[in-house]
Structure 1
């Protein structure tokens, strides 16, 4: 029997929870004053200039790359978990970006098999429940983007030659939706507080 953390739906649930929490924090932040927002914006720009942990660099990390190749793009990560089960060595590495943004990659037997990020891209989607309801299983990413606008890749994994990606659309108020693609077609969708 597979351990719960080895099942794809476990990681999908974790990612959806992280995105929902991220959305909640985003909506709390809108109540800050203009002065603190300006100060925070300047600090974030300075941190972004120094960090390699950006959405653009996240996209550069490919499945089957080595950890060393990922480090060429991101710098050294922090090993957060490690296991050896049945001769398969699995390690997870984490990188912290500006603010609460972060990303991680999963490496099995020396090759990247998964990656996830939170907070690396600005929450600026413009999605509604009506638009969300137009998304159906079997649609391509291009079809979904034509309805919702360009999505944000929040996680990608490759298990037994099956690619799975989760794209998110997050409004400024934290409301959001996630769409899961397997073999480049929609297999699942979820939303949080869309109106």
Structure 2
């Protein structure tokens, strides 16, 4: 007749070994309970390709939260300026967008390397721009192909810097405070 003892003893030893190993945690890698334990820090965030665009820059408004901006551009490179003031940067090749938050709200935004160029700019056009003009009046002189470079709160007023740029990088720049021209400059060839 068949005896069950030798078969049972052959199976019992490996089963006991498996049981002991599983109880002590040997032989398997268990994920750490705390996500910071046993892991190396994630590499610094890099900007996703294609998000540093003038269209995305224009979507950012003053008083947005950083989370709102993160929804548009993704995670930014963070630099604490002082308590409650943080600067975030998104870079892609020779283009960038920078915002500064104060108490988690956007108080300024700047961009470089983004936006339109125009086909003609003249010193005569530049001379027609005067202090106190609105952006619409300046557009009627220089045309609609400008780009905003900076928008920020300054002493409870809104400061805006706009530029009309030719493909050769010569330009007319207009600075506005609460919607009125306060200064202008140019780098036009004479």
TM-score, normalised via structure 1 length: 0.69
Match of 1:186 among 163, 181, 184: 181
> 1:57: which partner in 2?
56
Q: How many residues align?
A: 142
Match of 2:164 among 169, 175, 179: 169
Q: Which has the greater radius of gyration?
A: 2
CA distance in 2, matches of 1:62, 1:182: 16
> 1:138: which partner in 2?
132
5 Å matches for 1:46-195? Answer: 50-84=49-83, 89-97=84-92, 99-150=93-144, 151-195=146-190
CA distance in 1, matches of 2:163, 2:119: 9
Q: 1:157/1:174 Cα in 2 relative to 1: closer, same or farther (>3 Å)? A: same
Deviations 1:100-147 (A, max 9, x none): 011100101111000000111243342111111100001010110111
> 1:26: which partner in 2?
none
Question: Secondary structure of the equivalent of 1:133?
Answer: helix
Q: 1:92/1:125 Cα in 2 relative to 1: closer, same or farther (>3 Å)? A: farther
Instruction: State the 1:174 CA deviation.
Output: 1.2
Q: Which runs of 5+ in 1 are unaligned?
A: 1-48
Determine which structure has the larger helix proportion and give its number.
1
Aligned alpha-carbon RMSD (Å) = 1.6
CA distance in 1, matches of 2:112, 2:71: 21
CA distance in 2, matches of 1:68, 1:182: 27
Contact 2:79–2:87 (8 Å) recurs in 1: yes
CA distance in 1, matches of 2:119, 2:80: 33
Contact 2:116–2:147 (8 Å) recurs in 1: no
CA distance in 1, matches of 2:80, 2:62: 19
Deviations 1:43-78 (A, max 9, x none): xxxxxx942111011011010110110111111110
